Copies of this chain bind each other. A is one copy, B any other.
Amino acid sequence: MEIIASIRELRNSLNNQGHIAFVPTMGNLHDGHLKLVDIAKQHAQCVVVSIFVNPLQFGPHEDLANYPRTLEADCRKLQAAGANIVFTPSVKEMYPDAVSAGEGLNLRQTMKVTSPPIANELCGASRPGHFDGVATVVAKLFNIVQPDIAVFGKKDFQQLFIIRELVKQFNLPIEIIAGDTVREPSGLAMSSRNGYLTETQKNQAAQLYKMLESIVLRVRNGTAELGILADAASLALKELGWDVDYVSFRNQTTLMPATSEDKQLIVLAAAKLGTTRLIDNIDFLR
C-alpha cells in the first residue's frame, strides 16, 4: 500500500492502473469506513482512499481544530482492509493559495461548487455553507483521482444525495455507490464523532437509532401521520435529554418532505448529546 501526499505523485502512481474505486474520508476510520473500502474492492483493481479533513466544510464554530486525526492507525486499518493507495494531502496541497488569517485560514478557494436548494434543509439549515464545502472538495478530489466509481456511506445521506446531484449535474463520468451504515451492537451508527462521547453518553446514544426504528415500524404498520410521528419522536428525544435539530420523513429519491403517496421513504434525524452532534437515518419502503 502506497501513502501519497502530493497530487503529482498520486497522478503518476495512478497512471495505467485500470479501474479505480475511490473512498473519500476525513480519517479517524471505523468499521463503517472499512465497509466502504470493502465495497470498493469488489468493483475495481485499484482502491484509493483519501484522508483529508476539509476546512472548507466546517463552519467557524465547528470542530475543525479538534476533529480527530489518527493517520497512523488509519493506515494500518487500510492496509489490513486491502486499500492500494492512501492519499493524504495537506491543506496547502488542496488549497495552494491558503494563507494564515488570525486564528484560522483564508483558503482562497474563490471558485466553489454551489449546492442545490436541498442543501439549505435538514443538516444544511444549521450548517450554512457546509454542503458547498463538501461538493467543492469532492469535485476537486474526483478530478485528482479520476475514479471510475466512488463509494459513500448512507449515514451521511444528505451528503450522498448531493454528491449524486454533483455527478449528474456536472456530467462526471463516475458511478456513485452507497454503503450501508455500520452500527455498534447497541444500534448506534458508527461515526468519528462518537469519540467525543463520554461513557454515559455512549450508552445513551443508541436512543437516536431506536427512536427512528420505532417510528419506522409504526409507519410500516400503517400509521400515516408522518409529521405527527416525527414531532413525537423529537419530543421524546428531548425528554431523554437530547437537543434535537430535526426528525424528518422524506422521499428517498428527491429528499423532499414525504407525501402520503410516497412509498420509498427515509427518516433522518440530527440531535446533540451534550456538545456532540449525531446524525442517523433509516431508509425503508411502505
Contacts and interface: CB of A to CB of B under 8 A. Distances in A.
A146 interface: yes
A170 B111 contact: yes
A215 interface: no
Interface in A105-121: 109-117
A42 interface: no
How many subunits of this chain does the assembly comprise? 2
Contact of A144 (B109, B146, B169, B171): B171
Given A111-B135, A113-B112, A114-B112, A140 B170 contact: yes
A143 B173 contact: yes
A11 interface: yes
A18 to B, nearest CB: 14
A112 B169 CA distance: 9
Contacts of A140: 169-171
B111 A117 contact: no
Nearest to A115: B111
A173 B8 CA distance: 10
A7 interface: yes
A197 interface: no
A172 interface: yes
A-B complex: 4 closest residue pairs judged by Cβ atoms:
A110-B116, A111-B169, A143-B171, A144-B171
